[in-house]
Structure 1
Amino acid sequence: MTELPVTETPRPARRRLSVDRRREELITAALELFSRRDAEHVSIDDVASAAGASRALVYHYFGGKQELYVAALRSAAELLESRLRPQGSGRPLEELAAGIARYFDFVEQHAAGYAALLRGGPANRAGEIGEIVDGVRGRLFLLIQRQMRVAEPSPVLRATLRSWIASVETAGLDWLENRDIERAELERLLVEDMVALLGVAARRDGEAARLLHALTGDQPG
């Protein structure tokens, strides 16, 4: 009896990806992990496994975990900033509402990147990581200045705007964690929060009073 030749089951072909595409996959996997765990609790092996890649490949692209962490957060920061660029030239309050909507588009569509970017306390914000996060906040602050037609904010107005930015960040993280409020309702709440904060500041600062008037049409007190 003639034996039939044994045929080996062909192995699935390994995907050939461009350098940029492979790097993007690794960053996406890393952001997902960093959004759920502190960086010190995520290993290169974890990232490689999540991305379906080898440990050596991760090192080839990034050199180590710190470099990967920095690249992942920078990627998220750049994407968020691109979403926040002014889109129109309407009334300041309308532009603010539109900016909040674009911000939450990013929060919803890139939850892992947003959470990884803002997760953790001051202890995780030293060095280059802190520069990335502070850079996002600084550019967001400048964007709000432009939208509100504020050239150089007074100390009271500066503190008010920065306090509002912190509340927006916190609201975004809370919404991702709980999802127990409609996104549109949360966006309206944050716009109203801005008006309320300016109302308090307006009692102490003429520039805040003028900005409140520009937003709402109310006469400064």
Structure 2
Amino acid sequence: MIDFKESDPYPLLAFDSYTYQEAKDHATLVDDWLGFDCEHAEGSVRPAAGPAPQTWSHLSTQSFQTPYLEIRGILDLLNPKSGEIIVDLGAAYGRMGFVLARHYPLTRFYGFEIESARVQEAQRVMSEHGIDPSSMVTMDLTRPTFKLPVANYYFIFDYGHEQDVRKTLQDLKEVARQHSIEVIARGRLSRALIHSDHPWLSEVNEPRHFAHFSIYRS
């Protein structure tokens, strides 16, 4: 059991000091404290059918989102500097933005999420906590016309079907032609595709591997 403290809602803890279930339980307390009503928002999310982009509507909100504790730990490893840009690809309710606003307020955050109901709820809660709501954007990353914004860090958390993740990794490759980037991949699919199809990420610089995610640098 991880105690929740309003004075330190996203504590920095060693990854091996808590279980995944404890992290999810803690995230539930944080969501309540922030004022999220995710259940109401999820009522507007329709299940994906056939080749349509994945919405994860069949899972609980704690199952398809990265726990705040893990986000804080990842950001501590990255230590983003003032003015650097962090992009979350498949941001759900924008948890990354809340942790950044508290611990790295001079960075810039953009979260892309396909479901407008989630984006609207994230924007509502961000506004209540003095965070720029325009940092959350409703966007289908699989659209052929979608172009990634230039950033320093990109988070990809197995947000969709294999063909969707392949498309996003190719988009990241195009960005990396212009300047060095760091990609944080969470989940088996993203990491497997990086190692099989993207040596520019997996072989040029030594990746850093952890239980649930890996950090790659072009």
For normalisation by structure 1, the TM-score amounts to: 0.26
Write 1 or 2 for the structure with the bigger share of helix.
1
For normalisation by structure 2, the TM-score amounts to: 0.26
Bigger relative contact order (CA 8 A; separation at least 6): 1
